[in-house]
A and B are shown apart, each in its own frame.
Chain A
Amino acid sequence: MGDQAQLLPGTLDLLILRAVSLGPLHGYGILLRIGQISDNALLIEQGALYPGLFRLVRQGLLKASWGTSDNNRRAKFYELTAPGRKRLREETASWNRLATAIGAALAPQPEEA
């Protein structure tokens, strides 16, 4: 697992919103989905997911309800609310701006060549 990247603070929420945006998921499912869409490149503490979910529900960005999973087990399913969808759009845009800017700053400059 040594080649997995540490999460930047604050990015877990963004990843959760993104994972859930593709359809309702339970907690473990969210974890798997993040692994899938990020090619298992990110290191996520399993337990740390839950305080994040709890917080997003309190903020009204996610909606939670109990249901039955594919494994036929009881699980809490999360889905995006309208404010959650809006937040995801905004956060994605701002992340992209940041990533571009940092990328540009770190790229080799012409005078270095």
Chain B
Amino acid sequence: MNILSTLSHRLASFFHRSQIREEMDEELGSHIAHRADDLERGGISRAEAERRARIELGGREKYKEQMHATLGGNFTAIAVQDVRFAVRVLGKSAGFTIAAVLTLALAIGANAVVFAVLNALILRPLNVPDSGSLYTLEHGAKDQSTSYPDYLDLRERNRSFEDLTAYIMAPVGLDTGNNPSQAWTYEVTGNYFDALHIQPYLGRFFHSADEHGPNSAPYLVIGYAFWHTHFQDDRGVVGRVVQLNKHPFTILGVAPPEFHGTLLFFSPDLWVPMVDQEQVQGLRVLNDRGQREIYMVLGHVKPGMTEAQAIADLNSVGAYLEKTYPKDDAYMTFSLSRPSLAGDLLGPGVKGFMAGMMLLSALILLAACANLGSLFAARAADRSREVALRLALGSSRKRILRGVFTEAVLISLAGGAVGLLGSVFLLRALSTWKPAPQFPIFVPVNPDAKVYLVALLLALASGFLFGAVPVRQILRTNPYEVVKAGSTGMVAGHTGRRVTLRDLLLVVQIAICAVLVTSSLVAVRGLVRSMHSNFGFEPQDALVVDTTLSMAGYNGDRVIPMQRSMIDALKTIPGVKSVGLVSQIPLGGGGWTENVFRDQTRDLRPSNAAAKVQEFRISPEYFHAAGTSLLQGRALSWQDDKNAPPVAVINQMFARRVFGSAGNALGKSYKMEDGTRVQVVGIAEEGKYYQLTEDPKPAMFLSFLQMPTNSTALVVRTDGDMGRDEAQLATAIRSALRNLDDSLPLNIQTWTQGLDIAMFPSHVATVALGVLGMMGAMLSITGIFGMAAYSVSKRMRELGIRMALGAQRREVLGAALGRAVKLLAIGSAAGLVLGILASRVLAFIVYQATPRDPLVLGGVVLAMALLGLLATWIPAQRALRVNPLILLREE
């Protein structure tokens, strides 16, 4: 039955009640009249007959009450009574209530935040129509990249997708008047919006019919947020012509506000047709089957088609491609995944981390429940006289238990409400947070109905969980024993050596806390270690200027002269030691990989590749500017240009992987994908290129004079002491480059700031674990404190007698707190072992996460000892201040 009909039923019986009551009266009256008729016939007066009849019938009210009980509708009335009583009782012990509500608020708030993020990242489908059937294609080893000709073949030859669309992410220079600035775009195939079933908010979208070969569709669609910030919601923007990379593009329309692209964490400002690639990216590789330039291919599986059928269909197309284009296509076995987290690229890591966080926050909630459970148990013990009296006066145990549960649920609901309120504020802030300003990262983690529901359920469940702790105690209460024992008496069972439920709860809670402390220490250590690890470059005292020359219309032969004059211009700035150019800054959030082949390999199909390597195109002074050490051979020079044979500096990993050893590699040659032979002239140290947690990868450094690059990062090394005039230097750099070309959008920041994107996962992990660890620690402190304070207060008399008999301070403390300390030790040990096991999970995110680190182990032990000291300090002081004389006289 649904809630609404139950409610209306209850209401009806509520109003119906008076009518039923009247009928009962009438029926009983009728009975009396009939009985009186009989008695009257026996020869007594009518009045006397009625009197006797009434007496014979007995207590009318009692019978009516019984009939009401049959109705069963009393539940609501009793519940209201219970709630009012519980509120009065809780109000009397305000301190207890506030502590309990706050404890739960913290725990439920933490769970709500973690769940909301989990919901936004994993559970909530992408905000596009029919997102259930939308899949992204992955082939080989979870590779999403595809070449344009392969994409066309897949689109035309498959029979299982409604349509397939594809996109590439690229920065562009956008000039809407006199303000050239960088914007992020998805270069998409013409059918993009149609394939995704998206309708324009304003104007129109471009379609497949608009594409007529390279640079044939100079059209833009702008995102709603970008329209709001850059065009002030001007509806006249449709049809306007703006300069994109110095080419005129017409704004066709505005995307709807809820559409942020198909990647959860990368929302584009603009969409442009992929056929304009030459104007947008400054390169023209759409016809090259070997260039896997497309970031992602996605589409809706046809209704009625299963995932397996679609995969089988794609594989048959893949087999055809491998057979027809053996030089370019290999590993064309497909799988499908969800587009929102870039498929299986980020998916498993994010999912693993969120699952871990959910588990930890659930542990926090469990610890809070254990805490409140033991508080409730202690309260029940203190109230045992009240319970005994109520039992003696005829209350049922069921009714008393219901009272306890009502209190527990009231506290849990209040805690849930406060926690949820806090989490909503936190989530609002998180939604607007931009972790890396140079990327359009936008993750809306606003709570939805699901989050509220989960918080409510968690609150109720925890209420029943900790409310259940004192049940046994109340059921066992013997009113006679309790009343006899008197006010200062000890209720049997508290002084025994037996392990009580409360002890067990405390151990569990301390163990949970120790797990949290261990994992947060592991994360912090990992973060510190990763900051001081060898990146293969020196981020200190360097600035990075990031730009793409095509944004100001530089293409082909104009690129290298411009880059040379940029380098020259920056070198003249006072305080600059050296300037190096690199195509993609390492650990900057992007990177290129390319297959390389041994020199003797003839058949350059992908499956014959010797290694997949990170590719950097650099200027001769890059190593010097970046602080990368050259181990053997020579660096690149200005003579390694178009007229000289191609050369490269490779890293140790490359040398080992392809040539067997570093010594072996020098002077040898290898082949690139297009067959170019490259000679190794130097060996550089290994570094981190893409992620902090990555294993050493092979890398090659090619000359930007031989392999031109439009994407340009300039590393400006200063002569130290940069902290002081960092801003000044940035201004000088900006004006020097403006003098060369004022239409080139620039992104200038210190290299350390630039690393934020690479540090992001471990920062998040550290902060999240740190917060959870702190909460765990707080809960433990209150838990241990509660237990110690309670046991001291209960044993005041015993302690007084011990002191009177000459016990030393140490012995008194041992008697008062020994148990708490023992429990602390057991719990910590258990938690430490569990924490070490749990830290394996952390290795995904945290750099070199290992709990087998003396500093971590020592830290955990120290932290737990401190917690214990902190929590038992006040109870210990109280125990020591016991004055036997006063105490005994009071009796």
B656 at the interface (CB under 8 A from A): no
A79 CB to nearest chain B CB (Å): 15
Given contacts A51-B67, A54-B70, contact A28 B34 (CB under 8 A): yes
Interchain CB contact under 8 A, B63 and A50: yes
Q: Mark B374-391, 1 if CB is under 8 A from A, else 0.
A: 000000000000000000
A23 CB to nearest chain B CB (Å): 17
Q: Mark A54-98, 1 if CB is under 8 A from B, else 0.
A: 110010000000000101011110000000000000000000000
Interchain CB contact under 8 A, B56 and A46: yes
B57 at the interface (CB under 8 A from A): yes
In Å, the complex CA distance between A75 and B62 comes to: 21
In Å, the complex CA distance between A55 and B72 comes to: 11
Interchain CB contact under 8 A, B35 and A46: yes
In Å, the complex CA distance between A27 and B30 comes to: 9
Interchain CB contact under 8 A, B34 and A47: no
Q: Mark B56-99, 1 if CB is under 8 A from A, else 0.
A: 11111011001100110000000000000000000000000000
B351 at the interface (CB under 8 A from A): no
Which of B31, B56, B59, B63 lies at the interface centre, i.e. has the most chain A CB atoms within 10 A of its CB?
B31
Neighbouring A residues of B24 by C-beta, 8 Å = 50, 54
Interchain CB contact under 8 A, B70 and A28: no
Neighbouring A residues of B37 by C-beta, 8 Å = 71, 73
Q: Which residues of chain A in 14-69 are interfacial with respect to chain B, using CB atoms and an 8 Å cutoff?
A: 26-29, 45-48, 50-51, 54-55, 58, 69
Number of interface residues of B (CB under 8 A): 22
Given contacts A46-B56, A47-B57, contact A75 B67 (CB under 8 A): no
Neighbouring A residues of B26 by C-beta, 8 Å = 74, 76
Partner of A51, one of B34, B56, B66: B66
Partner of B34, one of A26, A45, A48, A55: A26
Neighbouring B residues of A48 by C-beta, 8 Å = 58, 63
Interchain CB contact under 8 A, B58 and A47: yes
Which residue in chain B gives the minimum CB-CB distance to A71?
B37
Neighbouring A residues of B66 by C-beta, 8 Å = 51, 54
Given contacts A46-B57, A47-B58, contact A28 B31 (CB under 8 A): yes
B33 at the interface (CB under 8 A from A): yes
Neighbouring B residues of A26 by C-beta, 8 Å = 30, 34
Interchain CB contact under 8 A, A75 and B30: yes
Q: Which residues of chain B in 745-799 are interfacial with respect to chain A, using CB atoms and an 8 Å cutoff?
A: none
Interchain CB contact under 8 A, A27 and B59: no
Number of interface residues of A (CB under 8 A): 19
In Å, the complex CA distance between A45 and B687 comes to: 96
Q: Mark B16-35, 1 if CB is under 8 A from A, else 0.
A: 00000001101110110111
Interchain CB contact under 8 A, A47 and B62: yes
Neighbouring B residues of A47 by C-beta, 8 Å = 28, 57-60, 62-63
B841 CB to nearest chain A CB (Å): 58
In Å, the complex CA distance between A49 and B67 comes to: 11
Interchain CB contact under 8 A, B63 and A76: no
Neighbouring B residues of A74 by C-beta, 8 Å = 26, 30
SS of A interface (majority): mixed
Interchain CB contact under 8 A, A76 and B56: no
A36 CB to nearest chain B CB (Å): 13
In Å, the complex CA distance between A69 and B26 comes to: 14
Interchain CB contact under 8 A, A76 and B30: yes
A37 CB to nearest chain B CB (Å): 18
Interchain CB contact under 8 A, A28 and B63: no
Given contacts A50-B24, A71-B37, contact A28 B30 (CB under 8 A): yes
Partner of B27, one of A29, A46, A50: A50
A30 CB to nearest chain B CB (Å): 10
Neighbouring A residues of B33 by C-beta, 8 Å = 71, 73
Which of B30, B56, B60, B71 lies at the interface centre, i.e. has the most chain A CB atoms within 10 A of its CB?
B30
Which of A29, A54, A58, A71 lies at the interface centre, i.e. has the most chain B CB atoms within 10 A of its CB?
A54
Which residue in chain B gives the minimum CB-CB distance to A45?
B58
In Å, the complex CA distance between A45 and B33 comes to: 17
Partner of B35, one of A28, A54, A55: A28
Which of A26, A28, A69, A75 lies at the interface centre, i.e. has the most chain B CB atoms within 10 A of its CB?
A28
Partner of B70, one of A45, A51, A71, A73: A51
B253 CB to nearest chain A CB (Å): 67
Interchain CB contact under 8 A, B63 and A75: no
Q: Mark B30-47, 1 if CB is under 8 A from A, else 0.
A: 110111010000000000
Neighbouring B residues of A51 by C-beta, 8 Å = 63, 66-67, 70
In Å, the complex CA distance between A70 and B488 comes to: 70
Given contacts A51-B67, A54-B70, contact A46 B58 (CB under 8 A): yes
In Å, the complex CA distance between A38 and B851 comes to: 85
Which residue in chain B gives the minimum CB-CB distance to A32?
B38
In Å, the complex CA distance between A48 and B28 comes to: 11
Neighbouring B residues of A45 by C-beta, 8 Å = 58
Partner of B30, one of A46, A54, A73: A73
Which residue in chain B gives the minimum CB-CB distance to A52?
B66
A101 CB to nearest chain B CB (Å): 31
Neighbouring B residues of A50 by C-beta, 8 Å = 24, 27-28, 31, 63, 67
In Å, the complex CA distance between A58 and B28 comes to: 18
In Å, the complex CA distance between A49 and B57 comes to: 10
Interchain CB contact under 8 A, B70 and A58: yes
In Å, the complex CA distance between A26 and B28 comes to: 11
In Å, the complex CA distance between A113 and B813 comes to: 77
In Å, the complex CA distance between A71 and B49 comes to: 15
B30 CB to nearest chain A CB (Å): 5
Neighbouring B residues of A46 by C-beta, 8 Å = 31, 35, 56-58
A56 CB to nearest chain B CB (Å): 10
The 5 closest A-B pairs by CB, nearest first: A51-B66, A28-B34, A47-B58, A54-B67, A47-B63
Binding site for B on A (CB under 8 A): 26-29, 45-48, 50-51, 54-55, 58, 69, 71, 73-76
Q: Give 16 new A-B contacts, CB below 8 A, not counting A28-B31, A55-B67, A76-B27.
A: A26-B30, A26-B34, A27-B27, A28-B35, A46-B31, A47-B57, A47-B58, A48-B63, A50-B63, A51-B63, A71-B33, A73-B30, A74-B30, A76-B23, A76-B26, A76-B30
Binding site for A on B (CB under 8 A): 23-24, 26-28, 30-31, 33-35, 37, 56-60, 62-63, 66-67, 70-71
Pairs A–B under 8 Å by Cβ, sample size 20: A27-B31, A28-B34, A47-B57, A47-B58, A47-B60, A48-B58, A50-B24, A50-B27, A50-B31, A50-B63, A51-B63, A51-B67, A51-B70, A55-B67, A69-B34, A73-B37, A75-B30, A75-B34, A76-B26, A76-B30
